[in-house]
A = this chain, B = another copy of it.
């Protein structure tokens, strides 16, 4: 607990310091135990600054969610160049890594907890829907390029992208809620076969 991912290691602005404190409090206490008091305990500056920037816990947590989703989107590798298979492999390799560094595992746990809030909070659901759409659209681009180049069969890009996004979301969830990394490793292996046998055009 308490290790911060690189994007939070050295906050440059008050907003980033608040995001860092929120992240540390979430990792330590879980979402259900997250209070302004506890966020303040992880905050290096005057607690009054918390209230200066955010009216209440609700507003702070929604800003934190947006911040986390932006960081998560930034973690998807850029793959504008190259063969569609290599580009798809790069995304799947990054999202389904065999193991995670401690700070990345804590980040994943925090994301899984935030996502679960969407089950009962429309505002979280809207943000995750947008985030899911952005990830899916990046996969759609790769798949469409692969079809255009004759690398992939004439599959339905939206359906394939939704499916891959769903498997990635399941692996993220199971990795931190079921105890090990087998979920991601098995998904990566089987998606290799899926790409080979379902997506790849027969030469």
Bound-complex Cα distance A143 to B110 (A): 34
A181: shortest Cβ distance to chain B, in Å? 11
Interface residues on A, range: 35 or more
Does A75 touch B at the CB level, under 8 Å? no
Q: Does A125 contact B (CB under 8 A)?
A: yes
A186 adjacent to chain B (CB < 8 Å): yes
**Which stretch from A16-24, A39-47, A66-74, A193-201 is at the chain B interface?**
A193-201
Q: Summarize A's interface: helix, strand, loop or mixed.
A: helix
B190 and A163 contacting across the interface, CB-CB below 8 Å: yes
Q: Which of B32, B165, B174 makes the CB contact (< 8 A) with A31?
A: B32
The closest CB in chain B to the CB of A110 belongs to B119
The residues of B that contact A128 with a CB separation of less than 8 Å are 177-179
> Complex formed: what's the CA distance from A184 to B132 in Å?
14
- Residues A120 and B113 in contact, CB atoms below 8 Å apart: yes
Binds B, one of A4-12, A81-89, A154-162: A154-162
Whether A94 is near chain B, meaning CB under 8 Å from some CB there, is no
Interface residues of A (CB under 8 A from B): 29-32, 109-110, 112-113, 115-121, 124-126, 128-129, 132, 156, 158-160, 162-163, 165-171, 173-174, 176-180, 182-187, 189-191, 193-194, 197-198
